[in-house]
Amino acid sequence: MSESPQEILSRVFGYRQFRPLQQEIVQGLIDGEDAFVLMPTGGGKSLCYQIPALCRQGVAIVVSPLISLMKDQVDALVANGVSAAYYNSTLKSAEARQVLARLHQGQLDLLYIAPERLMNQGFLERLAEVPIGLFAIDEAHCVSQWGHDFRPEYVQLGRLRQHFAGIPLIALTATADAQTRDDIRLRLGLDQARCFVAGFDRPNIRYTVVDKHKPSAQLAAFLESRASGDAGIVYALSRKRVEEVAARLAAAGIQAAAYHAGLPGSERRRVQEAFLRDELQVVVATVAFGMGIDKPNVRFVVHYDLPKNIESYYQETGRAGRDGLPAEALLLFGYGDVAVARGLIEQGGNPEQVRIELHKLNAMIGFAEALTCRRRVLLGYFGERLEADCGNCDFCLNPPQQYDATVDAQKALSCVYRVGQRFGVGHVIDVLRGSKNQRILELGHQRLSTYGIGAEQSREGWSSLIRQLIHHGFLEQDVANYSVLKLTEAARPLLRGEQQLMLGKPRLRVREQTRPTRKRIGEIDYDQELFDALRALRKDIARDAGVPPFVVFGDATLAEMAAELPTDSEALLRINGVGKHKLRRYGDRFLEEIVSHLGR
């Protein structure tokens, strides 16, 4: 072993320092130990086995569930001059033979493979004949039925540990919950392995929750506030909704496309490819979209509808900002969605399952409703404690104002009572605001004593208030009966004027604070114009090479170039993400661009 892990980190990957835990994990593997690694998305799991793969004798076998991810990973390694390949069903037979030949000739440092291929008897026999440096199992939670992504073909991986005793095995996942964790270790025979748990915080992601009232206008306003060219994902619950939202965005001139499981495979591939290649700005998708998306420069994730639980929410928002640059997670939260989600869960069969899912949904609602720092709530859910408020969520940046809502609450509650506890939110608000619509007149509700007593407040104001009354338990919605509003026992003292109620003022606008300046990485200013020019250059190079742009250089690397303004190879090599191989391949073109920009 001539080169140290630190030297490889710098020469091959162009990075100055290991991130937390990376170095220990790498060293453990090099010393022949097993490892179980829990790290959030974007934490830098890949390097944990890629560097040992280059240090140890023999090939590293990397198990990965998704074919599209394998290709990206291999492309990225090859761009850094590493000898890597994948072996899966997309290869033509001649290509597959070639990969196997390279494997047998000891030419590969890493081989990515799907689990069912690996565990095939013929392949295992093949492996017995070649020196193996290590096994890495990516997305290891797929082995557990407790996890949210169980894949039957992963179960067989349990046999690896016995088949190849003595060869280090590392399993990696971003799934946090303790039960899944134990299950993974048990199933993969890693109960004795050292366990590395990185913090789950993603400090560069800004979490924002707004009351959902006109989602389509709210989304449009949010997108307008973004710098053009920023890529993002909008998650919606149903295929129909996905198509509607995508069509509306496209009509508004945004490069957007729909993605859901009902579309033909060819269309889904097209959308995914275009998104990876920075040729599509927004993908509107059901949760079907994401597992295969390792795009590091996703700048925002919007939840148009309520996620089912915090695990899903955290995973989906985690797809933003993998490159460590500022990113946004916006959730549009509406009480209508809560009723729908409850209804869907309650239709489910197994009562135990229903109980768990309702519990998880309630935690999700608790997050959306929270009157404390969002990040505290999220991390708290995963058992982590923040020392202080995060300073980078909507609550921290713009705490809701509290106000005395007693009189408003009385108005709303008595209106629910006057309409006979037989109507939903919309109608109650119509009565409060003195609407003259057909239904009111037909029912004679214009004669109620509460008719028009809330005309001074907007619809959105009332709906926020009613939602808070629901969440504070003064009102309940009859899910089985058109979400009709009913008073609870708790409403009595409030109606009788025996109780005072303080509530948060609603936040309806997506952005009330001024737009964050985007010309910053941490505290460094960079030249936005140059950054854009470097992005364009990157896209050209990537297109010619047939790889996604981030394989050439990540956004963080380009931003650092636009801040440091290197004008010779030596200075360029000091930029994070520029290794020797890429310097040789692309260095001149990027230097040329920078120099000509400076001369302008």
Contacts with ligand ADP by CB under 6 A: the residue count is 18
Tokens encoding 440: 């009111």
Angle (deg, nearest 10), helices 351-369 and 459-471 = 130
Which of the choices Zn ion, ligand ADP, none does residue 396 contact, using the CB cut-off of 5 to 8 A by kind?
Zn ion
The verdict on 15 binding ligand ADP (CB under 6 A) reads: yes
Q: How far apart are CA 406 and CA 498, in angstroms?
A: 10
Contact of 239 with 262, CB cutoff 8 Å: yes
Q: Which of 41, 208, 463, 468 binds ligand ADP (CB under 6 A)?
A: 41
Which of the choices Zn ion, ligand ADP, none does residue 73 contact, using the CB cut-off of 5 to 8 A by kind?
none
Residue nearest to ligand ADP (CB): 44
Contact of 391 with 397, CB cutoff 8 Å: yes
The verdict on 18 binding ligand ADP (CB under 6 A) reads: yes
Contact of 463 with 214, CB cutoff 8 Å: no
Q: Which of 72, 177, 323, 555 binds ligand ADP (CB under 6 A)?
A: 323
- Residue number, 397 or 479, with CB nearest to Zn ion: 397
Burial of 152 (0-12, 13-18, 19+ CB in 10 A): exposed
Piece in contact with Zn ion (CB under 5 A), picked from 34-42, 227-235, 392-400, 564-572: 392-400
Piece in contact with Zn ion (CB under 5 A), picked from 165-173, 332-340, 384-392, 532-540: 384-392
- Residue number, 139 or 394, with CB nearest to Zn ion: 394
Short-list 454, 369, 455, CA closest to 409:
454
Piece in contact with ligand ADP (CB under 6 A), picked from 16-24, 88-96, 336-344, 522-530: 16-24
Q: How far apart are CA 555 and CA 297, in angstroms?
A: 6
Q: How far apart are CA 50 and CA 71, in angstroms?
A: 15
Tokens encoding 384: 């982590």
The verdict on 556 binding Zn ion (CB under 5 A) reads: no
The verdict on 375 binding Zn ion (CB under 5 A) reads: yes
Site string for ligand ADP, 538-557 (x = CB under 6 A): ----------------x---
Antiparallel, parallel or unpaired: β 475-478 and 298-303: unpaired
Q: How far apart are CA 10 and CA 4, in angstroms?
A: 10
Which of the choices ligand ADP, Zn ion, none does residue 43 contact, using the CB cut-off of 5 to 8 A by kind?
ligand ADP
Which of the choices ligand ADP, Zn ion, none does residue 375 contact, using the CB cut-off of 5 to 8 A by kind?
Zn ion
The verdict on 378 binding Zn ion (CB under 5 A) reads: no
Q: How far apart are CA 434 and CA 440, in angstroms?
A: 9
The verdict on 44 binding ligand ADP (CB under 6 A) reads: yes
The verdict on 329 binding Zn ion (CB under 5 A) reads: no
Find residue 475's DSSP bridge partners.
487
**Distances from the Cα of 78 to the Cα of 72, 73, 98, 373, 405, angstroms:** 10, 9, 16, 42, 61
The verdict on 200 binding ligand ADP (CB under 6 A) reads: no
Residue recorded with tokens 């639980």: 309
Residue recorded with tokens 């609603």: 506
The verdict on 390 binding Zn ion (CB under 5 A) reads: yes
Q: How far apart are CA 350 and CA 364, in angstroms?
A: 21
CB of 391 to Zn ion, least distance (A): 6
Tokens encoding 358: 């309702």
The verdict on 396 binding Zn ion (CB under 5 A) reads: yes
Which of the choices ligand ADP, Zn ion, none does residue 281 contact, using the CB cut-off of 5 to 8 A by kind?
none
Phi, psi of 367 (to 5 degrees): -65, -50
Which of the choices ligand ADP, Zn ion, none does residue 554 contact, using the CB cut-off of 5 to 8 A by kind?
ligand ADP
Which of the choices Zn ion, ligand ADP, none does residue 19 contact, using the CB cut-off of 5 to 8 A by kind?
ligand ADP
Start-to-end C-alpha separation, the chain = 48
Q: Which of 576, 583, 590, 594 binds ligand ADP (CB under 6 A)?
A: 576
The verdict on 47 binding ligand ADP (CB under 6 A) reads: yes
Where do contacts with Zn ion occur on this chain (CB under 5 A)?
373, 375, 389-390, 393, 396
Where do contacts with ligand ADP occur on this chain (CB under 6 A)?
15, 17-19, 22, 39, 41-47, 296, 322-323, 554, 576
